[in-house]
Structure 1
Amino acid sequence: MTSTERPGNSVYALLSDGTTVRIRPACPEDRERVLRLFTGMSPENLRLRFFTAGPGSAEAAAERISSPGAPGDHALLALVGDEVTGTAEFHRSPADRETADIGLAVADAWHGRGIGTLLLEHLVHAARAAGIRRFTADALTENHLMLKVISDLGLRTARRFHGPEVRCTIELTEDEPYLSAVDERGRAAGVASLEPLLRPASVVVIGAGRSPSSVGRALLGNLRAHGFTGQLAAVNPHADAIDGTPCHPSVGQLPYVPDLAVLAVPATAVPDAAEQCGKHGVKALVTVASGLDDGQAAELLAACRRHGMRLVGPNCLGLANTEQTVRLDATFAAAPPRAGTAGVAVQSGGVGIALLGALSRLGIGVSSFVSLGDKYDVSGNDLLQWWESDGVTDLALLHLESFGNPRGFSRTARRVARTVPVLTVDAGRSEAGRRAAASHTSAIVTPTMTRRALFQQAGIIATDSVGDLVATAALLRSQPLPAGARVAVVSNAGGAAVLAADACAEAGLTIPELPGPLIADLLGVLPPTARAVNPVDTTAAVSGKQLAACLDLLARHGAVDAVIVALVPTALSAATGDDPARALVPPSGTRARPLAAVLLDQAEPVRLLQGGAATVPAYAEPSSAARALARAVSYAHWRAEPSGTVPALDGVDSATAAALVADFLARNPNGGWAGPQLCAALLDAYGIPQSPWAWVTGPDAAAAAAERLGGGRMALKAYWPGLLHKTDVGALRLDLEGPRSIRDAYTELARNFAGVMTGAVVQPMAARGIELVAGVVQDQVFGPLVLFGLGGTATEVLADHAARLAPLTDLDAHALITAPRCAPLLFGHRTGRTADLEGLEQLLLRLSRMACDLPQLAEADLNPVLVRPDAVLPLDVRIRLLPHTARNPYLRRLRAR
């Protein structure tokens, strides 16, 4: 029997109540364990499972499950410790190799906790990898539990009744309904597993010392000082109590089992402390120590998985939950987090301290804070799910330096960001690159492009600094989302208005002319010398009452989507005591359109001006206000769009493509660049149109091929394995006419590249059009990335490209086409002739499907892709294949470090 994942034969995953189980293939040594599962079942459950309560069926099933079985058969076990709590198996039908019959059993004591569903998800994954397309399952009609498990999977299921029995046929299509069902089960299980971590009823600090300077003492002090509502204890064999908190010699000697243990011990002591916690029944750990070597790291995570403990850290600041029913501050930060509604997760403790301080100063505060550190287990994805469900958080702030499962994270973030703004610092932008460029596509793609593709598709608001993150959070927390990018700039000083207008333009916002009636209304409420074009110059004489009336008019009118007010202190306002800044915050409620203030004499980079029930963000620099507003515009636009769907594509033969790739890698075990014939065959398998071409190996054959292709002007492209950029080495001849010209060109190329050239491609010269590039790069962490932009020989120099992670939705494909600077050319700029946009979208969607179907596709480079109003034709194609097995990003399992 085969493994569910390679390398490694077992994975850990969460049940619906947060319990950790181990899932692995069965082996012959498991026979007695499996038999104990069956013999421990009640007679009624045995009858429902085997259609009889006799012992013979149980013994036969135990033997079958634990035996190697026929090729293509598969059996999985769910274990808690050494106890088998469930089994799932499939057996391929001899008559139909794409169909397999399944069996499922769960121990009586574990019913209703999601073991059966989890096993079936992993069984589906293994079956799809084996080429199985459907399951059949026979059950008694009264076996409501089994039938419910099948119907709740999210897969298309048909039922046929035969007297007291029913046969279910389950189609193994991993489509959106199934992925959504898996997501929801994963969210519920993940949130349940975090309860002991973020809402513990009891906490123990292990390693709390007597010294006031020790980390453990600081952690214990913060827990006490900030009013943790549950039981609190410490482990210290040399003290009876520390600051009034009782101490015990070891975890095993605690009079109760704590939900959460905070390990403040040296790295060398961490694995043993974790093991002792697990044996005592602790449900969650926070490990603050740094410097664990590989062996200690492996032992720590193994203990957590073995005993079902969730883990934060190591190398972290700790965590906090400010809910009044919890008041947990298990950090060694100098100041407590202020209670509020922002969820914060960071990998850097220093960034965490900065964010906690900034959010406290702004008055936004924190709902929960987790310093992820080295992120062995609990990740940003876990925290997004928690904040989605905690009933408190309305703003999510992340600082992530790495992604364990970017595609899974992207699905979660897309869902969460529909209701809760998710902000991040795009850290690590300066990385020089992943590897040496092998093709145009690979040369173009950078780590920054990949990360930003993830952020753009998931609706995550990415900033370049912690300061910008806080500035944007202040606006989103206090103002409604803008409906568009039109901004009115209002100022009491001309110079400040110019700075604000320039900042808006640089941020991609527009400063529209105001309509005449609105100008008249504005002049009616402003001082006599005011100018009400945009920017609006209120003059230094403006009073608070006049400014308030001006802002209210702009907020109510549909001519603009947002307002930026730039104010400087003046002698007039000082003399009258009527500071216009007082008018920024409306006396009741929030204005209909977002407003950001710029107070050029303000010391703080950003603060929130309070006034009754309303708040307004005030910035020291116009650029900060404009960037924050531009990010809010982009986020509002993303949230207003539908989610998009991955469309079904006709004319796709993925089985043939997979067979072609397997054959190539069988002949080339280390992988390599596919030849022209294989490249063309792969494009054909995905319905991607190509310009007519012919493969030739001599001058006469080249001339004959040109005649078959219709004569006229021809291109001749030399080829040998490893050749990438033909123009750079002079391996391309264009505008060849007549048999003699083609023969001479082939002879010349063969002479120039003697010993390496294996043949050439003959192709008719294409009619003129826009030259684009489309491609795929398979990122080891992020998965396949689809790239699109301006092509031709200068594609890398001009750098006009965009990228999105596969699988592309219809909206992703449209966004790719409209993102590059060259996009207006496709919509008829200057020529008035629109390119074949539908053909372009189809090309990108089919490339995306190819990349998702074929994990061995390391990169594909279509350059140039010639685009005209009547056609989209790749003229040159390069595809590199490497041996690779895809890791399903949506299969539920805990991280393996």
Structure 2
Amino acid sequence: MTEPLSGARAFALLTDGTQIEIGRLGAADLDAVRELHDGLSEESRHLRFFGLNRAMAGQVAARVCRAGGDARDHAALGAWLRGELIGMAEYEPTGVPGQVEIAIAVADRMHRRGVGTLLLEHLGSLARANGIVAFHADTLPENSSMLRVFADAGLSPRQRMSHGVVELTMPLVPDDGYLDAVAERERRADVASLEPLLRPRVVAVIGASRRRGTVGAELLRNIVDGGFKGAVYAVNPHCAGSDMHGVPCVATLADLPEPPDLAVVTVPGYAVPGVAAACGRSGTSALVVISSGLTAEQGRGLLAACREHGMRLVGPNCLGIANTGIWLDATFGARRPVPGIAGVAVQSGGVGVALIEELSRLGIGVSTFASVGDKYDVSANDLLMWWESDETTRLGVLHVESFGNPRKFARTARRVAARMPLLTVLAGRSAPGTRAAASHTAAAATPELTRRALFEQAGVVATDDLGELVDAAALLATQPPPAGPRVAVVSNAGGAGVLAADACADAGLTVPVLDAATRRALAGMLPVCAAAANPVDTTAAVSAEVFQDALDLVAADASVDAVLALVAPTALGDLRGALGGIGKPLAAVVLGQAETVTVNERGVPCYAYPENAARALAHAWTYARGRNVPRDAPPALPGLHPQEAAGVIAGYLAGAPDGGWLPPVDTFRLLESYGLPMAPWCWARTEDEVVAAARELGVPVALKAHVSGVVHKTAAGALELGLDGEDAVRAAFARLSGRFGGDLGGMLVQAMAGEGVEVLCGAVQDEVFGAVVIFGAGGVDTDALADRAARLAPLTAREADELIRAPRLSALLLGHPARPPGDVAGLREVLLRLSRLVADHPGITELDLNPTIVRPDGVMAVDARVRLAPRRAWDPYLRRLR
């Protein structure tokens, strides 16, 4: 993950897509800051400084670039374009705790390009990381551009006039309003930066070849034969001065008559950094690097050249890109994408080839395609924003093996999913390769669980395999999303109809009883031996017209959200012609069909098996359900004490800088600082202290030995339960003391909790996904049962409820005749508080509340483990390039 600005520079995009650098200003930048202020016009100096004369530029620079100091009082950021300082922003103390005064200066020629806004965002992120809660600014009323920057930032500024000056105070709270404003600015800037990549006017293929069967030859031929209407050039020093596959070939980029918007690079890996630098010097705006096998050093050189010259980059190690809207096929695929509505972004070139083939065969077609390969720069996030702005794209298909910024991906995808379905396949689901886990929660946080959590919260429909993704795409591209999960099954083969109904139930759909009026109408039109319930068996004797009438009748039933029509071709008639629009989503099954899925001439997806159709309908319902859920924010929770929690964490890490397991007393203090309900406890070291603690808590009690290195107390024999009376307590103390001897660091004496449902509530800080909350079956069998779900923190109330309902044990929590329901509201509160704790404090790398007992009258955690590690705060929504 990218850390906050602390000296290193970050790259970000201005409104017009121009790349700039942003970083901390220091003593080495003194001359640059002075030159920036020297270059301001009289009007700019008046508006910025209320009348600064040029002689004061050096004093301002000295103050801004002074060494040392605490970032909680002073910090300054600069914005550089091609090595020139074009803007700066700083804050200074105001005397009000948690508040600083800010000032921004931007070179005159760079006004209205988003420099000031971008600096304000980065300065706000830096300030928040240092505990600052509000910005203050004084601005002249006539400084309309700066007032607009503050108003549009999304920080909800409060302002008042005082002595002819506008005084503004801006809370540094990244609420939904602020994040939406940042996201919209990012979308506009990102789309502008991708224009030369996805809508180029001039394309150069560097490493183009005459020899058929090579990447350089086939890629150039695809561009030429695909009908691209812009200018195309080949670059190859061995073939210069002649045509290559119908386009002129030059020796070097410098020989081109015009700079290319897009350069496609197919040279060997060792030559890529030099070629990229030459592209930058020539004025190229974007690169697609097909080449693979780059070393780490060569990769760094490639990215450095792209950043230095402001070029967007796809790859390396990729299949290429395509935009059928301009007939551009800059790939070396065997089949040219058919123009259509699906945007496709993949990491694997092979998966890309398969998706292009399937989407083209189905008639869905492709709008834009990008094989992002090793994702040095352009990623799925960029393609999502492009599709959001593209009127042609109405379906997004993703194959994502890794995530650079999953939080931003989730927020972007949810926004895009409100406009179009997004589909993905769960890649990297298996557990091999994950680290050995020291806690139940860490063991539970498998790649599949965390990826499912991300996609569910992002509104992305996740399938288990590529074939299932194609099945779902066929339905979502051709049919409206269903209004609910209720499916009517209509078939001309009764046994197959029953299988289809079973498949719907297995997929999580329902097969409701049809309305009595619908059943009577069906009985009146179908043969006597037909079945008019659901599934509907029309018998094989009906005509295509009657079968179509039955579909229309069933679709009109208010209890039906979608229809699954199953036909078995017979000698009595071919019913495939009856499969047409019915006003509600329709998935057809044609038994004996050669392909797994096709789309007929009336736009209906036809599957070979009922299971495929049922799963596709279930995915469509998943999309529709997620799209219709209103977006909410994590709720405000009373009784949180983040400073107290930070103190516990800092105190431990001061003595253990590499991190480790937090001692029991600190663990319970940390959890209670966020209001997490813990079973009453006392800490004791001697036998008499243990007895006194048990007497204070009341009996029965549990004794838990604290032994360094022991995480799972039951397995280690470090736990004594149900101790009732002084004699039992003393005897248990003796057993534990004898078992662990000098390794015993003390004992936690805890009141025994009543019986209830044992659950696991936990969290981990994933290296990719950030804070992830895990919930599922608890107790000593938690790992064996493996019944759990996950969500990214912090949770909303709706997400907490979804998390509770996801595991199978939710049936126990909701109650049944032999068990009263548990306190689900109290459990929701525990998950919300836990999620806030780990989201606010990234130093908490593992947290186990296992077991947590859920009873009808409350929720209580009876055991807890917390592991800490030194980690910096991270702002996932800050605008910056990878």
Distance in 1 (alpha carbons) for counterparts of 2:466 and 2:725:
65
1:697 aligns with 2:697: no
The equivalent of 1:14 in structure 2 is 13
The equivalent of 1:790 in structure 2 is 777
1:490–1:565 CA contact under 8 A, matched in 2: yes
1:475–1:629 CA contact under 8 A, matched in 2: yes
Which residue identity lines up with residue 801 of structure 1 in the other structure?
Answer: R
1:645–1:811 CA contact under 8 A, matched in 2: no
Deviations 1:18-58 (A, max 9, x none): 00000111122222222221222211111111111411332
1:74 aligns with 2:75: yes
Distance in 2 (alpha carbons) for counterparts of 1:712 and 1:263:
75
Decide which of 292, 297, 300 is 1:298's aligned counterpart: 300
1:264–1:287 CA contact under 8 A, matched in 2: yes
Distance in 2 (alpha carbons) for counterparts of 1:640 and 1:56:
60
The equivalent of 2:479 in structure 1 is 479
Distance in 1 (alpha carbons) for counterparts of 2:500 and 2:798:
33
Q: 1:433 to 1:787 in 2, by over 3 A?
A: farther
The equivalent of 1:598 in structure 2 is 589
Q: Counterparts in 2 of 1:304-453, with a 5 A limit?
A: 304-323=306-325, 326-453=326-453
The equivalent of 1:734 in structure 2 is 721
Distance in 1 (alpha carbons) for counterparts of 2:586 and 2:246:
50
The equivalent of 1:799 in structure 2 is 786
The equivalent of 1:177 in structure 2 is 177
- 1:172, distance to aligned residue in structure 2 (A): 1.0
Which residue identity lines up with residue 794 of structure 1 in the other structure?
Answer: D
- 1:502, distance to aligned residue in structure 2 (A): 2.4
Distance in 1 (alpha carbons) for counterparts of 2:516 and 2:424:
41
Decide which of 751, 760, 770 is 1:773's aligned counterpart: 760
Distance in 2 (alpha carbons) for counterparts of 1:114 and 1:193:
14
The equivalent of 1:63 in structure 2 is 62
Distance in 2 (alpha carbons) for counterparts of 1:131 and 1:516:
65
1:606–1:619 CA contact under 8 A, matched in 2: yes
- 1:497, distance to aligned residue in structure 2 (A): 1.6
- 1:367, distance to aligned residue in structure 2 (A): 0.5
Q: What secondary structure does 2:552 align onto?
A: helix
1:196–1:283 CA contact under 8 A, matched in 2: yes
Distance in 2 (alpha carbons) for counterparts of 1:211 and 1:511:
59
The equivalent of 2:641 in structure 1 is 653
1:874 aligns with 2:861: yes
Distance in 1 (alpha carbons) for counterparts of 2:427 and 2:257:
45
1:340–1:364 CA contact under 8 A, matched in 2: yes
2:414–2:457 CA contact under 8 A, matched in 1: yes
The equivalent of 2:218 in structure 1 is 218
RMSD of equivalent CA atoms: 1.5
Decide which of 634, 642, 665 is 1:677's aligned counterpart: 665
Q: Counterparts in 2 of 1:696-775, with a 5 A limit?
A: 696-709=684-697, 711-775=698-762
Distance in 2 (alpha carbons) for counterparts of 1:70 and 1:47:
29
The equivalent of 1:576 in structure 2 is none
Q: What secondary structure does 2:622 align onto?
A: helix
- Scaled by the length of structure 2, the TM-score of the pair is 0.98
Gap regions ≥5 residues in structure 2 = none
The equivalent of 1:89 in structure 2 is 90
Gap regions ≥5 residues in structure 1 = 574-578
- 1:558, distance to aligned residue in structure 2 (A): 1.3
Distance in 1 (alpha carbons) for counterparts of 2:691 and 2:21:
65
1:665 aligns with 2:653: yes
- Scaled by the length of structure 1, the TM-score of the pair is 0.96
Distance in 1 (alpha carbons) for counterparts of 2:249 and 2:567:
58
Deviations 1:337-356 (A, max 9, x none): 10111000111111111111
The equivalent of 1:584 in structure 2 is 579
1:168 aligns with 2:171: no
Deviations 1:775-799 (A, max 9, x none): 0011011101101112111111112
1:699–1:744 CA contact under 8 A, matched in 2: no
Deviations 1:796-815 (A, max 9, x none): 11122111011211111110
- 1:513, distance to aligned residue in structure 2 (A): 2.5
Which residue identity lines up with residue 69 of structure 2 in the other structure?
Answer: A
Q: What secondary structure does 2:572 align onto?
A: helix
Which residue identity lines up with residue 38 of structure 1 in the other structure?
Answer: H
- 1:212, distance to aligned residue in structure 2 (A): 2.4
Deviations 1:174-233 (A, max 9, x none): 222111111111111111110110011111111112222332222221111111121222
The equivalent of 1:858 in structure 2 is 845
Q: What secondary structure does 2:601 align onto?
A: strand
Q: What secondary structure does 2:741 align onto?
A: coil
1:556 aligns with 2:544: no
Decide which of 251, 254, 273 is 2:253's aligned counterpart: 251
Which residue identity lines up with residue 652 of structure 2 in the other structure?
Answer: F
2:5–2:126 CA contact under 8 A, matched in 1: no
Deviations 1:270-315 (A, max 9, x none): 1111101101111100010110111110000000011100000111
Which residue identity lines up with residue 597 of structure 1 in the other structure?
Answer: A
2:3–2:875 CA contact under 8 A, matched in 1: no
Distance in 2 (alpha carbons) for counterparts of 1:245 and 1:431:
50
1:344–1:370 CA contact under 8 A, matched in 2: yes
Comparing 792-801 with 337-346, which one deviates more in the overlay?
792-801
The equivalent of 1:274 in structure 2 is 276
Which residue identity lines up with residue 9 of structure 1 in the other structure?
Answer: A
Distance in 2 (alpha carbons) for counterparts of 1:636 and 1:61:
56
Distance in 2 (alpha carbons) for counterparts of 1:427 and 1:484:
28
Distance in 1 (alpha carbons) for counterparts of 2:578 and 2:864:
62
- 1:81, distance to aligned residue in structure 2 (A): 1.3
- 1:652, distance to aligned residue in structure 2 (A): 0.7
The equivalent of 1:528 in structure 2 is 528
Q: Counterparts in 2 of 1:591-630, with a 5 A limit?
A: 591-611=582-602, 615-630=603-618
Q: 1:71 to 1:445 in 2, by over 3 A?
A: closer
1:87–1:119 CA contact under 8 A, matched in 2: yes
- 1:595, distance to aligned residue in structure 2 (A): 1.2
Distance in 1 (alpha carbons) for counterparts of 2:44 and 2:597:
64
Distance in 1 (alpha carbons) for counterparts of 2:179 and 2:662:
33
Q: Counterparts in 2 of 1:180-259, with a 5 A limit?
A: 180-237=180-237, 238-240=239-241, 241-259=243-261
2:3–2:872 CA contact under 8 A, matched in 1: no
Identical-pair percentage: 53
Decide which of 602, 622, 629 is 1:641's aligned counterpart: 629
1:4–1:25 CA contact under 8 A, matched in 2: no
1:718–1:761 CA contact under 8 A, matched in 2: yes
Which residue identity lines up with residue 833 of structure 1 in the other structure?
Answer: P
- 1:698, distance to aligned residue in structure 2 (A): 1.4
Q: What secondary structure does 1:572 align onto?
A: coil
1:50–1:57 CA contact under 8 A, matched in 2: no
